[in-house]
Structure 1
Amino acid sequence: MVWSNGYQLQSRDYRIERVLGQGGFGITYQARHLKLDQDFVIKTPNEHLQLDPEYPKFVDRFIKEGQRIAQLCTNPHPHIVRVFDLFQEGDTHCMVMDFIPGENLLQRVQGQGALPEAEAVRYFQQIGGALQRVHEAGLVHRDAHPGNIMFRGDQAVLIDFGIAGEMVPVTVSSKYGWNPAFAPFEQMRGFREPTVDIYTLSASLYYALTGKRPASSFDRKIDDVELVPPKKFVPSLSNTVNKAVLKGMELNPKNRPQTMGEWLSLLHTHIPITTVSPRYQKLQLFLAAGKWREADEETARLMLQVAGREEDGWLDEDSINQFPCEDLRQIDGLWVQYSNGCFGFSVQKRIWQECGGKVDYYETECRLGDRVGWRKEGKWLRYDECTFTSKAPPGHLPLYYGNYVCGVRLDDVMWEVEGVYILLLSRPDL
């Protein structure tokens, strides 16, 4: 049965506030924890599925995948909804997750229209990074459509891991375990690979940019319906983002990027030359010419100038926290654009989140340094040992802040690692 508003669970201290959603596979409730005085989401399978002969297998998968998602929460990702508990209320299996009170992408586009390119790209870089973490855990979301992308402030959060969609019970075989408007054709045959999420996320970005649902993969495959490029609806859309969307929505999964990281490398903010502030034109020229070291040093000069720290020669915690958003995004956008998505603060932030997303030394900073090539064999590199070519590891640049390199004071004999660089990556507006 569907629990009514006000129903108090017997096995846990929750009171049902309301039904948030109900489909062929599951029901989600907003529930109040009576002792913590906080709202959570409780997800349960639909009761009528108990008549299905495959129901025990369905429940087993529900539990196992809930456990695996909960393991992601040991190092919480800021753009993945957290799972807190799995339990039974009578014969009903329950999963407890974050309650996010904001709107989802579908509601935002319906209410405000298509999103500006830079805003949409920023959100989808966040969700793409979340899906990378999901894939590394051996999971495939399979349902990253606009209704499952929520907003918490200026952060996008991926919810509802489509666990029910991992297996189609016989009794509801006429239903979809996913949103068919955003699903790839092979998903209808039970295909479970990361390329499924790449298609779905690309289709969701199409919707965010245009305000229109793309032609479904079924109609494209069976009836040869054309997929209209998003740039036809939004002529100002950059060729880069237009290409990333279309590449991610290739009908043949072999023609798509094979990992979320590859798709994210296609997806970077395009900044037309006419919109670059005169202050940043020198940086743009260095980047366009592939002069990576000069660009790195110019980045340091610019950031010190913007922060008013030229005499100090380095950025402290306050100057990092108060650094203007628009300047930060313009510097980052130029790096991302001219490196084809390989370098930039936002690229480093994605990798930092994959490394744990914490402001600490051993658990995150060292792992980040190893990933982006700032450390080798457990030792931090000197500035002149770093790689200033396009062959450097993703996220290797930029790395120079006045007297700081990779967060390391150049004049420290023991090369003490500082947290200043990591504080920059932890900014929510990056």
Structure 2
Amino acid sequence: MFWQDGQLIYNGKYKIEKYLGGGGFAVTYQAMHTKLNRRVVIKPPNISVQQDPDYPKYVERFKKEAQMLAMCCTDSHPHIVQVFDFFEADDRYCLEMQYIAGQSLWDYVRRQGALPETEAIKYIRQMGLALVDVHKKGVLHLDVTPPNIMLNFDPAIPNSGKAVLIDFGIAGDMSPPSTLSRSFGNKAFAPYELTRKGIRRPTVDVYCLAGSLYYAITGQRPTNSFDRKYEQEELVPPKQLVPSLSDGVNQAILQGMALEAKDRPQTMEEWLNLLSSSQANLTRVILASDVGVNYQNLENLLKAGKWKAADEETTRVMLKVAKREQEGWLNFQSIENFPCTDLRTIDQLWVKYSNGHFGFSVQKRIWLECGGKVDYETECLLGDRLGWRVKSSWLSKDKYNYSQNALAGHLPSAYAARLLSFLSYQWLLLLSRPDL
């Protein structure tokens, strides 16, 4: 180790608390920002790398990582580690990052064993949503594996775990691979085209994330893709290891881990759609909340097919989550700060008990088909597609179709959306959130 516990660095700005670990290029330390009294992670290059003749090249790559990570977390995505600073201390470049209290998915599964299907999907879907945002910025992570998925839990709130993507150390843009990238990638979870040829495409991240879901659900590492390709070893279907696994999730994992890139979903959005479709038949939804809201009544109403009462209950719990019960409507800040865990719980309940016919995610898919913009024209197109608008007129509360004969995405209703504004404009802001 280069720094000792309790050591002050960078003119006393940081106090090293403990060594966290590291890989071939960089190491990480838990530290305290002494002026802000904020716990952070400091990541400098490994001492051994500094003796390498190619060290200047590694430093350039390290600088690029800092720049890419800063770009990816510009919008403070809840599932991407935040970068705070990049500086030089003791002749080493250092990256200051957000400290994630918790443990990696790798360690969590090792200690807890294979996770329940719904819990595993919750974390993996959060990672997928983060990667959709990363890919839009032209960046690939290339190592979306269990050690790089941190789980943060609030011990006071049941089922409050949140996944955060860390370590962009081998991330690259979507340009042709450099020689430096050819040797990277976790071989237990990476496709052979990355580890053997350094090929970088969105399908690499699809494979890695599907492999991480395989591990989370089975508790076992999947068959090495290199051995599958060149030794003709077979990938054991996860359902063979976990017979209770739903067919849809089993198929989503196998498609995401198809040996050849051309046989996988070509974008992260496509793979997430496979996963979302499979969730309609999940046996149980974890009633998770980041703020302690109870969703049992909503589940009971949806299970009984009481769509109108469930729609009204959705309005009630959304206001409770946002602490806007007295106001009776949600403002822009409420939408921006609405906890992603609660949003996903409400959505999963609607998706499950409507067999994939209703829910926020269904509405979002249709919104994207309408152009995915937040403007009045898109609002009207969405209203027409969801049956919220008929002959250019928005429906009143008593005109909604509270049955499964309604158009896909009709519920939760536009009347609930009017909590946000007179029209449903701000509802589009809710659907545009990257964590939905």
TM-score range, shorter chain: 0.7 to 0.9
Asked whether the equivalents of residues 25 and 164 of structure 1 are also in contact (C-alpha less than 8 Å), the reply is no
1:82 positional shift: 0.5
Q: 338, 345, 348: which is aligned to 2:356?
A: 338
Gaps of 5+ in 1: 284-297, 310-314, 352-366, 390-395
Q: Deviations over 1:50-69 (max 9, x none)?
A: 33333222211211231121
Inter-partner Cα distance in structure 2 for 1:89 and 1:133: 32
Asked whether the equivalents of residues 280 and 331 of structure 1 are also in contact (C-alpha less than 8 Å), the reply is yes
Inter-partner Cα distance in structure 1 for 2:201 and 2:12: 36
Inter-partner Cα distance in structure 2 for 1:263 and 1:25: 31
1:178 aligns with 2:185: yes
Q: 209, 217, 229: which is aligned to 1:209?
A: 217
2:385 corresponds in structure 1 to 386
Give secondary structure in 2 for the equivalent of 1:32. Answer: strand
Q: How does 1:89-108 map to 2 (within 5 A)?
A: 89-108=89-108
> Counterpart amino acid of 2:24?
G
Q: 223, 244, 248: which is aligned to 1:236?
A: 244
Q: Deviations over 1:274-296 (max 9, x none)?
A: 8797743675xxxxxxxxxxxxx
2:263 corresponds in structure 1 to 255
TM-score, reference length from structure 1: 0.74
Q: 312, 318, 329: which is aligned to 1:304?
A: 312
Q: 302, 305, 308: which is aligned to 1:280?
A: 302
Q: Deviations over 1:97-151 (max 9, x none)?
A: 1111201111111111111111111111100000111111121111111111111
1:224 positional shift: 0.9
Inter-partner Cα distance in structure 1 for 2:201 and 2:429: 33
Q: Deviations over 1:152-196 (max 9, x none)?
A: 2221111111338987769xx9xx633211111111121222111
1:303 positional shift: 2.3
1:397 corresponds in structure 2 to 409
Give secondary structure in 1 for the equivalent of 2:208. Answer: helix
1:393 corresponds in structure 2 to none
> Counterpart amino acid of 1:233?
L
Inter-partner Cα distance in structure 1 for 2:284 and 2:68: 45
2:125 corresponds in structure 1 to 125
1:36 positional shift: 1.1
Inter-partner Cα distance in structure 2 for 1:192 and 1:93: 27
1:302 positional shift: 1.9
Inter-partner Cα distance in structure 2 for 1:99 and 1:274: 35
TM-score, reference length from structure 2: 0.73
> Counterpart amino acid of 1:401?
S
Inter-partner Cα distance in structure 2 for 1:422 and 1:96: 31
Inter-partner Cα distance in structure 2 for 1:68 and 1:274: 39
Q: How does 1:14-413 map to 2 (within 5 A)?
A: 14-153=14-153, 154-163=161-170, 177-188=184-195, 189-268=197-276, 269-272=278-281, 279-280=301-302, 299-305=307-313, 317-318=324-325, 329-334=348-353, 338=356, 344-346=359-361, 372=372, 375-377=375-377, 380-381=379-380, 385-387=384-386, 397-398=409-410, 400-401=412-413, 403-405=415-417, 412=422
Inter-partner Cα distance in structure 2 for 1:324 and 1:134: 21
Asked whether the equivalents of residues 370 and 376 of structure 1 are also in contact (C-alpha less than 8 Å), the reply is no
1:300 positional shift: 4.9
> Counterpart amino acid of 1:114?
A
Asked whether the equivalents of residues 374 and 381 of structure 1 are also in contact (C-alpha less than 8 Å), the reply is no
2:395 corresponds in structure 1 to none
Asked whether the equivalents of residues 66 and 83 of structure 2 are also in contact (C-alpha less than 8 Å), the reply is yes
1:79 positional shift: 0.3
Gaps of 5+ in 2: 154-160, 286-298, 331-337, 389-407
> Counterpart amino acid of 2:123?
Y
> Counterpart amino acid of 1:186?
E
Inter-partner Cα distance in structure 2 for 1:144 and 1:273: 25
Asked whether the equivalents of residues 17 and 30 of structure 2 are also in contact (C-alpha less than 8 Å), the reply is yes
Asked whether the equivalents of residues 26 and 164 of structure 1 are also in contact (C-alpha less than 8 Å), the reply is no
Give secondary structure in 1 for the equivalent of 2:44. Answer: strand
Give secondary structure in 1 for the equivalent of 2:244. Answer: coil
Give secondary structure in 2 for the equivalent of 1:143. Answer: coil
Asked whether the equivalents of residues 45 and 93 of structure 1 are also in contact (C-alpha less than 8 Å), the reply is yes
Give secondary structure in 1 for the equivalent of 2:184. Answer: coil
Inter-partner Cα distance in structure 2 for 1:387 and 1:57: 53
Q: How many residues are treated as equivalent by the alignment? A: 374
> Counterpart amino acid of 1:32?
M
CA RMSD of aligned residues (A): 3.9
Inter-partner Cα distance in structure 2 for 1:345 and 1:132: 17
Inter-partner Cα distance in structure 1 for 2:141 and 2:282: 38
> Counterpart amino acid of 1:224?
Q
